[in-house]
Amino acid sequence: MSNVRELARQTLEAYRQFLETADTRVKNSVLDTIAVLLGERISSLLDENRKDVLAAKSADMNPALVDRLALDEKSIRGMIRSCAEVAALPDPAGKVTDMTVRPQGFRVGRMRVPIGVIAIIYEARPNVTIESAILCLKSGNGAILRGGTAAFHSNRFLIRIIRDALQAAGINPCLVSFLESRDRQAVDELLLQDDLVHLVIPRGGEGLIRNVVEKSRIPVLKHYKGVCHVYVDRDADLDMASRIILNAKTQRPAVCNALETLLVDAPVAADFLPGILSSLKGKGVEIRGCGETRRLVPQDVQPASEKDWTEEYLNLILSVRVVSGIDEAVRHINTYGSGHTDAIVTRDIRTAQAFINRVDSASVMVNASTRLADGGVYGLGAEI
């Protein structure tokens, strides 16, 4: 058996033992211990991280990436806080729903259960190591972690903390495994172990995700990008629409739930567009508009090309299109969107309901900013 396969086998075995014995109290005590050990070993962790950062700098790594690699006391305090937050969440495992008595006389219910062994492939960001491990633990899953090799020393040290915490609770430490090999082939081999690993979660850019999808024989939980829309309907409260759009576009433009394309219903376009586009420009947003948008607001609107409708700018750029009502808006979103998060602004409850039913996206919102899309905000729990 290869090393990678053996690692996966050990993780699966530890997961099964965990499934048979772990209760919420034990899980939370492990999270508490991880937090304590992070605090106790903070200076050694910073030493290990320094090794990674120095190597990255001498290899001329892009400074933005070095930034995400580097830890300091504040970011480690953030990890400690995450442990407490996840411990405070309700335990998702074991929840029984839909308990009914069938006509034949027996009772049937559904119980929420862990997934099994989850492989997480991510970039050189040590905080993802802790975040992934504690979410897997709390939800009762085993984890095989493979972060970017530039974070090798930091990750190895963090995994040691996690495993020490597991051991202190009498849990097989193989429950959280670290794919140590810096070889890319080790990842490729891991992605073939579909009898031992139940889910792969790639966390990172589109290139990393596509590579995992191409090579994996295991189901992959993914989203490539977030091309999010706000549709301003003819029955919208236009002041509310302005506030939503400014928030969705400018609060944090580089994240996946930021607004990328604004759709405006034709009957309100002439009233609405000049004001909102001028406010956006005031915040430094570049506008790329359809022909009608440019006719209504001639100054400072670049022409949008077909490519703009599918673009995830992650930047202070917004594409704008005037549409002839909800039908065209929905068609635009389902054709060009990414199925992440899309919003309508309207006071008409029937239009809102039609939008919810017809838009094919994970989050569909009414009179709210796309930026609110988040498991925690929804009350659906922390998420990866």
Stretch that binds a second copy, among 1-9, 181-189, 267-275, 351-359 (CB under 8 A): 351-359
Please identify, using beta-carbon distances, which residue of 51 and 347 lies nearer to a second copy. 347
How far are the Cα atoms of 78, 263, 330, 374 from residue 289, in angstroms, in the given order? 41, 10, 18, 29
Residue count, binding to a second copy (CB under 8 A): 35
Query: Please, is 282 exposed, middle or buried when counting C-beta atoms within 10 Å of its C-beta (0-12, 13-18, 19+)?
Result: exposed
Please identify, using beta-carbon distances, which residue of 25 and 74 lies nearer to a second copy. 25
Please identify, using beta-carbon distances, which residue of 54 and 111 lies nearer to a second copy. 111
Please identify, using beta-carbon distances, which residue of 84 and 380 lies nearer to a second copy. 380
Please identify, using beta-carbon distances, which residue of 149 and 310 lies nearer to a second copy. 310
Nearest 5°: phi and psi at 372? Answer: -75, -10
Tell me the C-alpha distance between 83 and 81, whole Å. Answer: 5
Nearest 5°: phi and psi at 363? Answer: -120, 125
Q: Report whether 329 contacts 359 (CB < 8 A).
A: no
Q: Give the x/- contact pattern for a second copy in 131-170, rule: CB under 8 A.
A: ----------------------------------------
Q: Minimum distance between the CB of residue 174 and a second copy, rounded to whole angstroms?
A: 16
Could you say whether residue 295 binds a second copy (CB under 8 A)? no
Axis-axis angle for helices 152-168, 24-40 (nearest 10): 130
Which of 160, 200, 336 lies closest to 262, judged by CA?
336
Handedness of CA 180, 186, 192, 195 (dihedral sign): negative
Could you say whether residue 239 binds a second copy (CB under 8 A)? no
Instruction: Give the burial string for 84-105 (b: 16+ CB within 10 Å, else e).
Output: eebbeeebebeeeeeeeeeeee
Stretch that binds a second copy, among 70-78, 269-277, 297-305, 370-378 (CB under 8 A): 370-378
Q: Which of 69, 133, 330, 352 binds a second copy (CB under 8 A)?
A: 330
CB atoms inside a 10 Å sphere around CB 20: 7
Q: Minimum distance between the CB of residue 285 and a second copy, rounded to whole angstroms?
A: 25
Terminal-residue alpha carbon distance, the chain = 31
Q: Please, which residues bridge with residue 341 across strands?
A: 363
Q: Give the x/- contact pattern for a second copy in 12-31, rule: CB under 8 A.
A: ----x--xx-----------
Q: Minimum distance between the CB of residue 372 and a second copy, rounded to whole angstroms?
A: 7
Residues 183-222 that bind a second copy (CB under 8 A): 194, 213-214, 217, 219-220
Tell me the C-alpha distance between 232 and 60, whole Å. Answer: 46
Please identify, using beta-carbon distances, which residue of 264 and 368 lies nearer to a second copy. 368
Q: Minimum distance between the CB of residue 324 and a second copy, rounded to whole angstroms?
A: 15
Please identify, using beta-carbon distances, which residue of 12 and 245 lies nearer to a second copy. 12
Nearest 5°: phi and psi at 243? Answer: -60, -40
Could you say whether residue 303 binds a second copy (CB under 8 A)? no
Q: Report whether 120 contacts 162 (CB < 8 A).
A: no
Residues 92-121 that bind a second copy (CB under 8 A): 94, 98, 100, 102, 104, 106, 108, 110-111, 113, 116
Please identify, using beta-carbon distances, which residue of 58 and 335 lies nearer to a second copy. 335
Binding region for a second copy (CB under 8 A): 16, 19-20, 94, 98, 100, 102, 104, 106, 108, 110-111, 113, 116, 194, 213-214, 217, 219-220, 327, 330-331, 334-335, 356-358, 360, 368, 372, 377-380
